[in-house]
Structure 1
Amino acid sequence: MLALTLAIEYADKGIRVNAVAPGVTKTPMHAVEIHDYLAQLHPIGRMGEAQDIVDAIVYLETAQFVTGEALHVDGGQNAGQW
C-alpha cells in the first residue's frame, strides 16, 4: 500500500515508486538441508534465486510507465491470497 500511496503522491514530479516482494530465496539465511522443503512451498516448485530478484528490479527500472506496483517474485506463493 505504501508504494501505491507514494506513487500517487509523486507521479506529477516524475518519480515512480514500486516494490519487490520476494518469496523464499536461496541465500545463506536458509540452510541447504531445508532447500527441498522450502522449494515445495512455491507452486512453481523451486526456491527463488538472487537473479530472479535482480530480473524483477531491472524490469521495474526499464518499465517507465509502471508505478505503484508491488511485484511478487515468489514463484506463485502469493497467487490467490487476497
Structure 2
Amino acid sequence: MYERLLTLWPDQMRQLIEWAVYNKNRLIATLRHPAHECPRRLIEDLGTIGTAKTATVLKSYIGDVTIGNSAVEAIRAIEQRLNPC
C-alpha cells in the first residue's frame, strides 16, 4: 500500500516524508521497520520522489552519523533524475 501511495500521490507523500525526516526523533517503530531504520528508509524514498528543494534540505543531514550516507545517496538520485545528462 505504501508504495502505491508513493506512486499515486508523490507530492503529498514527499511533503509527509520530509516532515517525518525533519521530526525523526518523534517517529515510532512499526511492525514493518524498527524506529532507528525509519529515517534511513524514508530518505531512500525521497531519492525517488524528491525535488531540487528536497535535495537542498537533505544536504543539512550529510553530517549526521545515522542518516548522512542515505542523504548523500538520495541527493545523488534526485540530481540524476532531474538532470539525466
TM-score range relative to shorter protein: under 0.3
Q: Which has the larger radius of gyration?
A: 1
Name whichever structure is richer in strand by fraction: 1
Name whichever structure is richer in helix by fraction: 2
Structure with bigger RCO (C-alpha 8 Å, 6+ apart): 1
